[in-house]
Amino acid sequence: MDQNAEIYQDLDRILVTREKIAKKVKELGQKIAEDYAGKSPVMICILKGACVFFTDLIRETPLPLTTDFMAISSYGSATKTSGVVRILKDLDNDILGKDVIIVEDIVDTGITLNYLMKILIQRGAASLRIAALLDKTARRKVPDLKVDYVCFDIPDAFVVGYGLDYDQKYRNLPDIGILSPRIYGDK
């Protein structure tokens, strides 16, 4: 995508370029393949934010894996987490006895993932790990949440692109950028 395109005007700056993302995603896929050698994990895409990351990551992970999708909501259209998590779309398949890898776009306060982990443990997953594209550790409210795989640690800023949205926009940007505060004001 042309970086002069209209939607790029809403960014303060690009934080992670598409080239850097591709490199890290490839490395992560290799790492997961090593860690799960001989196994067939279920990789779960947390919709919608993780969709772009997920489709790239599974293609870089040479394992006989399966996929499933779950949609949860924690944000609405504002930029601050509400702490309220709802399942909008549940998994299609049972995870009892499976090695599960949750693929998430960003860990912010950690409230969403903490809630999700509890649900999936109750359902009897044999093992459960988290792979996140981005981690904003500065904002964590669940200190003991273990994020097993992270591509990039980022500062406390609201970011969009590569699947991440603001008000459902910007998911199609190939790069990750810091959204200009003038776009969201103090919502």
Residue of 109, 137, 167, 184 that binds ligand IMP (CB under 6 A): 109
Which residue from 100, 160, 177 is spatially nearest to 131, judged by alpha carbons?
Answer: 100
CB 130 within 8 A of CB 107: yes
Site for Mg ion, residues 96 to 115, rule: CB under 5 A: 105
Site for ligand IMP, residues 23 to 82, rule: CB under 6 A: 49, 74-75, 81
What 3-state DSSP class applies to 117? helix
Which residue shows structure tokens 């509400």?
82
Nearer to ligand IMP, 152 or 158 (CB): 158
**Dihedral (Cα; 118, 119, 122, 128), 10-degree rounding:** -70
Task: Please tell me whether residue 130 binds ligand IMP under the rule CB under 6 A.
Answer: no
Considering only the stretches 29-37, 58-66, 92-100, 158-166, report the one whose residues sit in contact with ligand IMP under the rule CB under 6 A: 158-166
149 binds, among ligand IMP, Mg ion, none (CB under 5 to 8 A by kind): none
Nearer to ligand IMP, 17 or 109 (CB): 109
Least distance between ligand IMP and beta carbon 64 (Å): 28
Nearer to ligand IMP, 3 or 137 (CB): 137
The backbone torsions φ and ψ at residue 21, rounded to the nearest 5 degrees and listed phi first, read -60, -50
Regarding beta strands 99-107 and 127-135, do their DSSP bridges make them parallel or antiparallel, or are they unpaired? parallel
Task: Please tell me whether residue 161 binds Mg ion under the rule CB under 5 A.
Answer: no
Let me know if 56 is a catalytic residue. no
Spatial distance between the Cα atoms of 25 and 77, rounded to a whole number of angstroms: 28
108, 135, 165, 175: which is the annotated catalytic residue?
A: 108
The sheet carrying 149-153 orders its strands as 86-89, 66-73, 42-47, 99-107, 127-135, 149-153
Task: Please tell me whether residue 111 binds ligand IMP under the rule CB under 6 A.
Answer: yes
Site for Mg ion, residues 37 to 66, rule: CB under 5 A: 49
The type of residue at 50 is A
Q: Which residues are catalytic?
A: 108
Residues that bind ligand IMP (CB under 6 A): 49, 74-75, 81, 104-112, 158-160, 164
